Structure 1
Amino acid sequence: MTLDAQGAADTARPGGHAPEAQPQPPDGGGTRSPRLWSPRRVPAALVAVVTLCVAGTLLYDVIAARAGQPDRAWRTRLADEFATRPVDDPWLLIGGAVAAVLGLWLLVLAFTPGMRRLLPLRTPEGCAEVGAWLNRRGAELLLRDAALRVPGVSRARVRVGRHRVSARADVRFRDPETVRGELAQALHEQCRQLALAHTPRLAVRTRQPTG
């Protein structure tokens, strides 16, 4: 189950259709939903197409050579290049670097879950088979609304990461340090209501625009 910005807003409002999220302590009160793994359809399709083309070309050439046909010019030239070109040739170095970068990229895609736009939530005890995630944009909107409800805040900008929430607010009146403390408390309470699996660290900055 995934909550988008609209669903998250309904959860936060008392009159919404979705049940209100219960505050969860950092180390208890529920189980953590596992992170979603991205299907990686585009990289998988590209790797499959490239592999199919290369393997098909090589297989066709081997069958043609076994059938008594003359060697293809491209295969002869490629063999000569690999046999005569020095190891420190710039084109070989560039080709090796590109192959290494592509291989590293594929390894990162294979061993990382992706789906960074979804934040895992805590689920009730005994419901380990049920997973819930919150859209990152929805969490940012809810935290921004909570920041704007703090007296003195005229404008707020919130960015939500996996382990950190960064907030910047403009203060039109009141002492900026006092507003900063109240803003941190409001954001902390809102994060508890969101029931995120990982309790994020808060980084709050306030400023008083001039003019």
Structure 2
Amino acid sequence: MKRRPRRSVPALLSALVLLAACVLVAVSAIQRILGERAWIDYDTVAATLHNLHWTDLATAVAGSLLALAGVVLLLAAIVPGTATVLPLAGRFDSGVARGGYRTALRTAAAGVDGVSTARVRLGRRRIKVRIDTTRTRPDGLAETVRTAVADRLDRIGPATSPAVKVRVRAPRRTT
């Protein structure tokens, strides 16, 4: 079970751009039918487009921008995003949400004596834990935190066990 995020941001932006274009065309058409002065003058737009050539710089730039937008939207649809539910080991189809997973690991790291704050970043193959401590000599603290996080990982039981990397930030030594 690997639930992937929905591509709502690219879809929303595409829909808003298309909606704005449709509203603009519809309002201009209605104003033209009613005989009022239109927001966009059809004759001016038609004359401008008629005078453009395929070899013009404006045509090349507009085409390039539209092609780039198409490639970005295509990549957003094809490339898988970060999983929102991570699979757990076992015979049943079960998973854990990324937020809960991160919180459980952060709680395990922050529960170690000498750790004032802990931050956890989840990667595909590695978990990065950054801890802050008030100790001036944090010898062995990184290994203790790594052990605590590894124990919590064993209890959670993810389908793939990532490597744990711990970075300690401590005040400068006064020797």
User: What is the TM-score normalised by the length of structure 2?
Assistant: 0.68
2:95 maps to which of 132, 146, 150: 132
Using the TM superposition, give the Cα deviation of residue 123 of structure 1 relative to its aligned residue in structure 2, in angstroms.
Answer: 5.1
> C-alpha separation between the residues in 1 aligned to 2:133 and 2:10?
45
1:1-211 alignment, distance < 5 Å: 33-38=1-6, 40=8, 43=11, 46-47=14-15, 50=18, 53=22, 73=43, 74-82=45-53, 86-87=55-56, 89=57, 91-114=58-81, 116=82, 118-122=84-88, 124-125=90-91, 127=92, 130-134=93-97, 136-173=98-135, 175-210=137-172
Aligned-residue CA RMSD (Å):
3.4
> C-alpha separation between the residues in 2 aligned to 1:45 and 1:181?
46
Deviations 1:65-119 (A, max 9, x none): xxxxxxx633353132135xx34x2x334323321321122112211343x3623
The alignment covers a number of residue pairs equal to 156
The question of whether the paired residues in 2 share the 8 Å contact of 1:147 and 1:156 is answered with yes
Deviations 1:173-196 (A, max 9, x none): 485241111111111222232233
**Which is worse superposed, 36-45 or 160-169?**
36-45
Identity between Structure 1 and Structure 2 (%)? 25
> C-alpha separation between the residues in 2 aligned to 1:185 and 1:166?
13
Q: Which has the higher contact order (CA 8 A, sep 6+)?
A: 1
The question of whether the paired residues in 2 share the 8 Å contact of 1:165 and 1:203 is answered with yes
Runs of 4+ in 1 over 4 A off after TM superposition: none
Q: Structure 1, unaligned stretches of length 5 or more?
A: 1-32, 61-71
The question of whether the paired residues in 2 share the 8 Å contact of 1:158 and 1:168 is answered with yes
The question of whether the paired residues in 1 share the 8 Å contact of 2:118 and 2:130 is answered with yes
- Residues 170 and 34 of structure 1: CA distance in aligned 2, closer, same or farther (over 3 Å): closer
The question of whether the paired residues in 2 share the 8 Å contact of 1:152 and 1:174 is answered with no
> C-alpha separation between the residues in 1 aligned to 2:133 and 2:9?
46
The question of whether the paired residues in 1 share the 8 Å contact of 2:10 and 2:76 is answered with no
Partner secondary structure for residue 82 of structure 1: coil
The question of whether the paired residues in 1 share the 8 Å contact of 2:112 and 2:148 is answered with yes
Q: Report the residue type matching 1:80 in the other structure.
A: N
The question of whether the paired residues in 2 share the 8 Å contact of 1:153 and 1:169 is answered with yes
The question of whether the paired residues in 2 share the 8 Å contact of 1:171 and 1:209 is answered with yes
The question of whether the paired residues in 2 share the 8 Å contact of 1:154 and 1:171 is answered with yes
